Amino acid sequence: MEDYGDAYEDRIQRALEAYNHGGFKSLCAAAHSHHVPDPRFHARVTMTDPRKAGRPFTNKRLNKEQEAAVRLCIKRYDDLGFSDWPQMIHNAATYIPRVLEPWTPHAY
Protein backbone atom coordinates (compact mmCIF):
# COMPACT_ATOMS: atom_id res chain seq x y z
CA MET A 1 0.00 0.00 0.00
CA GLU A 2 1.32 3.41 -0.97
CA ASP A 3 1.99 5.96 1.76
CA TYR A 4 -0.49 8.86 1.84
CA GLY A 5 2.31 11.46 1.86
CA ASP A 6 3.92 9.93 -1.23
CA ALA A 7 0.59 9.82 -3.08
CA TYR A 8 -0.08 13.42 -2.12
CA GLU A 9 3.32 14.55 -3.40
CA ASP A 10 2.75 12.58 -6.61
CA ARG A 11 -0.56 14.40 -7.18
CA ILE A 12 1.16 17.74 -6.61
CA GLN A 13 3.93 16.83 -9.07
CA ARG A 14 1.44 15.64 -11.72
CA ALA A 15 -0.59 18.83 -11.34
CA LEU A 16 2.57 20.93 -11.61
CA GLU A 17 3.73 19.11 -14.74
CA ALA A 18 0.30 19.43 -16.36
CA TYR A 19 0.19 23.15 -15.58
CA ASN A 20 3.74 23.76 -16.84
CA HIS A 21 3.04 21.91 -20.11
CA GLY A 22 -0.06 23.99 -20.83
CA GLY A 23 -2.65 21.41 -19.85
CA PHE A 24 -4.49 23.93 -17.69
CA LYS A 25 -5.07 27.66 -18.02
CA SER A 26 -4.99 28.33 -14.28
CA LEU A 27 -3.34 26.99 -11.15
CA CYS A 28 -6.78 26.52 -9.61
CA ALA A 29 -7.95 24.26 -12.46
CA ALA A 30 -4.81 22.13 -12.24
CA ALA A 31 -5.15 21.81 -8.48
CA HIS A 32 -8.82 20.85 -8.61
CA SER A 33 -8.23 18.34 -11.38
CA HIS A 34 -5.56 16.54 -9.33
CA HIS A 35 -7.34 16.91 -5.95
CA VAL A 36 -4.70 19.17 -4.44
CA PRO A 37 -5.58 22.11 -2.12
CA ASP A 38 -5.28 25.43 -3.95
CA PRO A 39 -3.14 27.26 -1.34
CA ARG A 40 -0.65 24.40 -1.13
CA PHE A 41 -0.36 24.11 -4.91
CA HIS A 42 -0.05 27.88 -5.39
CA ALA A 43 2.63 28.01 -2.71
CA ARG A 44 4.54 25.19 -4.40
CA VAL A 45 4.46 26.98 -7.75
CA THR A 46 5.49 30.35 -6.31
CA MET A 47 7.99 28.72 -3.89
CA THR A 48 6.48 30.34 -0.78
CA ASP A 49 5.50 28.84 2.55
CA PRO A 50 1.70 29.10 2.94
CA ARG A 51 1.96 29.02 6.73
CA LYS A 52 3.99 32.24 6.78
CA ALA A 53 2.05 34.31 4.27
CA GLY A 54 0.78 37.56 5.74
CA ARG A 55 1.45 36.75 9.36
CA PRO A 56 3.61 38.89 11.60
CA PHE A 57 6.41 37.25 13.54
CA THR A 58 5.15 35.88 16.84
CA ASN A 59 8.37 35.28 18.74
CA LYS A 60 9.68 38.81 18.94
CA ARG A 61 11.57 39.96 22.00
CA LEU A 62 9.82 42.62 24.02
CA ASN A 63 11.52 46.00 24.22
CA LYS A 64 12.16 47.64 27.61
CA GLU A 65 8.81 49.47 27.79
CA GLN A 66 6.85 46.36 26.85
CA GLU A 67 8.74 44.21 29.34
CA ALA A 68 8.13 46.79 32.07
CA ALA A 69 4.42 46.77 31.21
CA VAL A 70 4.26 42.96 31.47
CA ARG A 71 6.08 43.08 34.80
CA LEU A 72 3.63 45.71 36.05
CA CYS A 73 0.72 43.52 34.94
CA ILE A 74 2.17 40.57 36.88
CA LYS A 75 2.67 42.79 39.95
CA ARG A 76 -0.95 43.97 39.74
CA TYR A 77 -2.14 40.35 39.54
CA ASP A 78 -0.10 39.62 42.67
CA ASP A 79 -1.43 42.71 44.47
CA LEU A 80 -5.01 41.69 43.68
CA GLY A 81 -4.39 38.17 44.93
CA PHE A 82 -4.74 36.47 41.54
CA SER A 83 -2.49 33.55 40.76
CA ASP A 84 -0.49 34.20 37.60
CA TRP A 85 -1.61 31.59 35.10
CA PRO A 86 0.62 31.16 32.07
CA GLN A 87 -2.28 32.02 29.78
CA MET A 88 -2.79 35.35 31.58
CA ILE A 89 0.88 36.23 31.15
CA HIS A 90 0.79 35.14 27.50
CA ASN A 91 -2.27 37.29 26.83
CA ALA A 92 -0.63 40.31 28.47
CA ALA A 93 2.61 39.74 26.56
CA THR A 94 0.77 39.60 23.23
CA TYR A 95 -1.65 42.44 23.94
CA ILE A 96 0.80 45.00 25.34
CA PRO A 97 3.08 45.18 22.26
CA ARG A 98 0.02 45.90 20.10
CA VAL A 99 -0.96 48.79 22.34
CA LEU A 100 2.53 50.26 22.69
CA GLU A 101 3.69 49.88 19.07
CA PRO A 102 2.54 52.25 16.35
CA TRP A 103 -0.35 50.88 14.31
CA THR A 104 0.44 49.36 10.93
CA PRO A 105 -2.34 48.13 8.63
CA HIS A 106 -0.56 44.89 7.58
CA ALA A 107 0.06 43.64 11.11
CA TYR A 108 -3.55 43.47 12.31
Instruction: Evaluate whether 74 touches 84 at the Cβ level (below 8 Å).
Output: yes
**pLDDT per residue over 6-51, tens digit each?**
787 888 888 888 888 888 888 888 888 888 888 777 777 777 665 6
* pLDDT at residue 1 in the model: 45
CA 43 – CA 29 distance, rounded (Å): 15
Rounded Cα gap, residues 67 and 42, in angstroms: 39
Q: Domain segments of the chain: what residues?
A: 4-46, 56-108
What does the pLDDT read at residue 51?
60
